[in-house]
Structure 1
Amino acid sequence: MKQLEVGDQAPSFKAKNQTGDLITLDDFRGKKLVLYFYPKDNTPGCTTESCNFRDNYESLTTKGFEVVGVSVDGEASHKRFADKHNLPFNLLVDDEKKMVEDYQVWVEKNLYGRKYMGTARTTFVINEEGTIEHIIKKVKNKEASQQILDLYEQG
């Protein structure tokens, strides 16, 4: 399968969020979508990244972005995570691993010599027409929002 690249049409998706509402890529037509994939709810790095998006949510929405997080955790886990950290955006449930596979972020990982499959922390910025504008593979958890804002301030 060809690697996703900037300029490609973003893979379509339909998934439930933390409150059971169905969310699709088409819901974001006309807006820039920050679609961030993270490994697991309530882990240190993922909490830092998600709270960074929360803390800068207004700056992002003011510039026309909508933020959506995705992990393979279930609805109840997402709800606890969103409630605990007051996350103002959708967290999509991908427990069947369709989105992580479509976006090619379900990869082999290595931790202390143990190999396993997991989500590569990756952020996609999708434009108003559904085209991938940016792919951030080296996400800095504490600066996740600023990484996106910097892309657009540089022109």
Structure 2
Amino acid sequence: MAGRRGGQGGRLIRAALRYLRKAEKRAGHHSRATAPPRSARVPGAPPETVRKFSDYIFKPGATHGKDKVFRSYGYDREHSEQLATEFTRQGNARYAAGEFTLGRADQHGQRITIPVDLVGRGDAAGRSTTVKTGWMIRPDGSITLNTPFTGFAR
């Protein structure tokens, strides 16, 4: 996370890169794992990221209660694409800046937590919060959103 001193952020990045190099080696690739260049990223959010909002957060009848957080800031199911695009933008920027926390690594990849700023709209305009989001680092160095809300950042 930003603000860490003493090289801890560098150690986290090196640990993530070691994991990615091992994953590439297991897959038969031998090039160094790095995040794709900014120019290689497609603007907007992939459909599976949009579905994290439309079919999970705002799923009718869901009992997890995560929708209440987003609704309290003026968002609903029809804002899924907008939310996915903004979370993707902020996630990629903060990942590139090293503003993430390493989670567990397993056969699926390296999990990380990235803070994302949620800005209110409509009646909630002028309000904002920072939420923790769960991501996965892929063998090619890119990241994908696993869950849009794991709690509030402090």
- For the criterion TM > 0.5, the same-fold answer is no
- TM-score, normalised to structure 1, is 0.29
Higher relative contact order (CA 8 A, sep 6+): 1
**Which is richer in strand?**
1
The structure that has the greater radius of gyration is 2
- State TM-score, norm by structure 2: 0.29
Answer 1 or 2: which has greater helix percent: 2
